[in-house]
Structure formats: structure tokens, C-alpha cells
Amino acid sequence: MKLKWIIIKNDRGKFPFRLFILNEKEVLLSLLIQELWPGEKGNIFCLEADNKFPKEAEVIEEVSVKSFRKYNVKLIITLDRNIKNKCEFLFIKKKYKHKEGYYNQIFFRTQKGIRERKPRLYIPKANIREHTILISSNERYAYSFGDAKIIKGYLKTGDYALLSNTGEIKAVVERKTFQNFIKDISNINLFLLNIEALASYKNSALLIEANYYDFLNPEKVKPLKATTSSRLISELFVKSQVQIVFAGSRKAAQEWIKNYFSTIIAHNNTSSHPSIKEIPLKYYCNKENGYEKILTLLNDEPMTTREISEKIQLSIDRIRHQLKMLHKSGFVKMEKSGRDLVWTQIPKSNYKTFLALL
């Protein structure tokens, strides 16, 4: 799927240009703009326009879109060119001062505009007391979550889970002490298989109550060697789909998990601007479609994450994310092959069905 950034001439005085983002003939975004690219201010006002692309349009600029992502009220876009290639569109819904109702404001902003205007930092807030924390019944010395509702029970994976109001798991965290972690990485392949279940959740983390530097101390990591310890941790970062956090201490780890869960709640509660909602969700990821390529490769032979990255020539982080999505949807699985962990395609899985769900 290839997206195009197209600017054409427009006959309206204050808005002499019209910007389209197209997927072939389908219009995903249509705006009236004042300049081809924000100038010295780095910030220009835009108007929404209809989604009809003129048949006899005078095209001024046409560029491929590398990335097209949504973050609440923002669309962040990266273009396939060397300069003037990063921008965002900010969609704001404002209330009229002297009458009922709301109106929309849209701003086309570049890095320079964001840097010079220094907008006030906005971090969504949430009250963790409004949600439920499920703590594994195997957790002997559980973290404290203040006034949050706590229940103990069975967790398939991890030690702590954030539940929505409907009981859906929104995030999972597995806790490791220093000694637990040393013991687990001593059998790295088994450990990778065990924590891979965490990757099936959209928000997941492996939380370690120690500093990374502690694992480089020869006296602390016995019976492992410090060089072996550091190499095994590197293997974990390369092969695992789960984010790994070295919190430094139990106290810091407890603060981290509370803030992590609160942030997830806050972002889930933040709604998008209606103009952004109208754009199908499947367009919010990078348009160099790796999913189909991954499944085509795995249909031939099992491969490691790094081998897939090298074959498709996409970053290993993007490949990890796409494998995580495919794994969560039941289209690929991880198996042990010698000393490596490899991905294989699950027989009879239909990637076209998966792509239709994105």
C-alpha cells in the first residue's frame, strides 16, 4: 500500500493550495493550505476540504509517504525526501466564546515551528483508583497501588495486569528480582519462550528490580561470568518482543509500574478529533507493508527476527512490532531451532484476512 502526498493549485485567495494524502484513488486527508510548506513560523492554519480529487488538477508537488501515524489529536507524517520531510497536523476542537457549539482548528506544523513555539507540555492524567489491578496469586510480596482496587487471581503470564472496566486486560508486567533474573537468563532460550507470552498483549513489560550495571559485576553475577551475563542480556534485547526496564530497586520499580498503568489509562481515555477518526485505522502505520512480506518469507522457511529484517530491509524494531501483531492474531508462532528462536507461519492462516483487520 503506497500513500502519496499531493499538493495541487486551488482557486481560493487565502488558501492557494490544496493538500491530499491518497492511497491510489482513495482520499485519506484533504486540506486547504496557505503555503506549500510552513515558512519561518513553522506553523500555518488549514481548513478542512471535501474528499473529491479534481479530474483536471494542476499538480505542484507529489511525494511518497513513508510514515503516517495517529497520536490522539495529531497526525504525524514523514515524507520520502531529504528535506522538508517531517511534519504534523494538529486537530483542535474549540468552544465558541459567545455562542453555543464548537468549531475546528487545524494547524500544519514542522519541527522548527514546534521547537520555536515551545508549546506547553501536555501529559494526559488518570486516576488509577478507577481501575482494577489483578495480581498473580503466585506473587508473595506484591507492590502497593494505593487506593486502586486490587484482586488476586490466576494470570496466564506476568505478575501484574491492568484491567479495564469490562475486565479486559490492558497491560501486563512481569517482575524480576536480581537473583530471579540471573537464574532465568542462565537458560536464555527457555526464558525467551516463557516471556514471549507477554508479547501477545499490546502493552507489556519485563520489570527488573536492579540496575543494568549490577549485571556487569563479577562478584554479583556468580556463577555466571560478567561477560556472559552482559551477552545474555543483549540476546534478550535482540530476540524479545517485550520492553525491558531496569528500574534499579524495588521502590523505583513500584513507582514505575504505577506510572505505567496510569499512563495507559490516560491514553485510553483520550479521544481523537472527529476528522482523524474518519480516516480508517489501517492507515495509521508505516505504509511499507511488511506484514505480507513477512508471511511470504515464513511460508518458505522458518527465520529469526534479524534474518527477516535483513531480507525485507526494514528496521528490526518495525519487524518486531509487526511480528508481535501477527503472533497476537494467530498467524505466526515462535519455535526453538538449535540455539536460535525462529518464527514460522501457522498452517492455513490467511494473511489477507489479517490485513483486512488492520
**What CATH number is attached to the domain comprising 233?**
3.40.50.10130
Q: 207 and 113 in one domain?
A: no
pTM, two decimals, is 0.61
Last residue of a domain, one of 207, 240, 269: 269
Residue 286 pLDDT class (50, 70, 90 cuts): very low
- Of 331 and 141, more confident: 141
> What local confidence, expressed as pLDDT, does residue 355 receive?
46
Give the count of domains, the chain: 3
Residue 123: inside a domain:
no
Q: Omega into 16 within 30° of 0, i.e. cis?
A: no
Report whether pLDDT(143) > 90. Answer: yes
- Of 93 and 65, more confident: 65
Q: 112 and 69 in one domain?
A: yes
Q: 264 and 134 in one domain?
A: yes
Q: 207 and 148 in one domain?
A: yes
Residue 221 pLDDT class (50, 70, 90 cuts): very high
**Share above pLDDT 90 across residues of the chain, in percent, rounded to a whole number:** 34
Question: What does the pLDDT average to over 213-228?
Answer: 94
Look at residue 149 and give its three-state secondary structure: strand
Q: 35 and 80 in one domain?
A: yes
Q: 53 and 102 in one domain?
A: yes
> What local confidence, expressed as pLDDT, does residue 118 receive?
59
For the beta carbon of residue 211, count every other beta carbon within 10 angstroms: 15
Cα gap 121→266, rounded to integer Å? 15
Residue 103: inside a domain:
yes
Residue 274: inside a domain:
no
In which residue are the cell numbers 486547504 written? 32
- Of 185 and 95, more confident: 185
> What local confidence, expressed as pLDDT, does residue 297 receive?
84
Residue 281: inside a domain:
no
Residue 64: inside a domain:
yes
Length of the chain: 358
DSSP label at residue 144: P
Residue 277: inside a domain:
no
- Identity of the highest mean pLDDT range in 96-110, 134-148, 289-303, 320-334: 134-148
Residue 122: inside a domain:
no
Cα gap 157→163, rounded to integer Å? 14
Q: 251 and 317 in one domain?
A: no
Across-strand partners of 102? Answer: 95
> What local confidence, expressed as pLDDT, does residue 352 receive?
47
Q: 102 and 219 in one domain?
A: no
DSSP helix, strand, coil percent of the chain (3-state; round to 5): 30, 30, 35
Cα gap 64→3, rounded to integer Å? 6
Q: 107 and 23 in one domain?
A: yes
Q: 15 and 64 in one domain?
A: yes
Residue 316: inside a domain:
yes
Look up residue 317 and give its three cell numbers: 524494531
Do residues 295 and 319 make contact, with C-beta atoms less than 8 angstroms apart?
no
> What local confidence, expressed as pLDDT, does residue 284 receive?
44
Residue 220 pLDDT class (50, 70, 90 cuts): very high
Q: What kind and span of H or E run contains 341? A: strand 340-345
Q: 235 and 144 in one domain?
A: yes
Report whether pLDDT(151) > 60. Answer: yes
CATH of the domain at 318: 1.10.10.10
Q: Which domain holds residue 95?
A: 3-117
Last residue of a domain, one of 82, 97, 117: 117
* Residue in 8, 12, 49, 56 with CA at minimum distance from that of residue 28: 49
> What local confidence, expressed as pLDDT, does residue 255 receive?
94
Cα radius of gyration rounded to whole Å, the chain = 24
> What local confidence, expressed as pLDDT, does residue 206 receive?
96
Do residues 264 and 171 make contact, with C-beta atoms less than 8 angstroms apart?
yes
Look up residue 78 and give its three cell numbers: 514523514
| Mean pLDDT taken over the chain | 83
Last residue of a domain, one of 117, 141, 174: 117
CA–centroid distance for 179 within its chain: 31
Q: 336 and 314 in one domain?
A: yes
Cα gap 236→198, rounded to integer Å? 14
**Share above pLDDT 70 across residues of the chain, in percent, rounded to a whole number:** 85
Question: Which range, of 123-127, 200-204, 213-217, 351-355, averages the lowest pLDDT?
Answer: 351-355
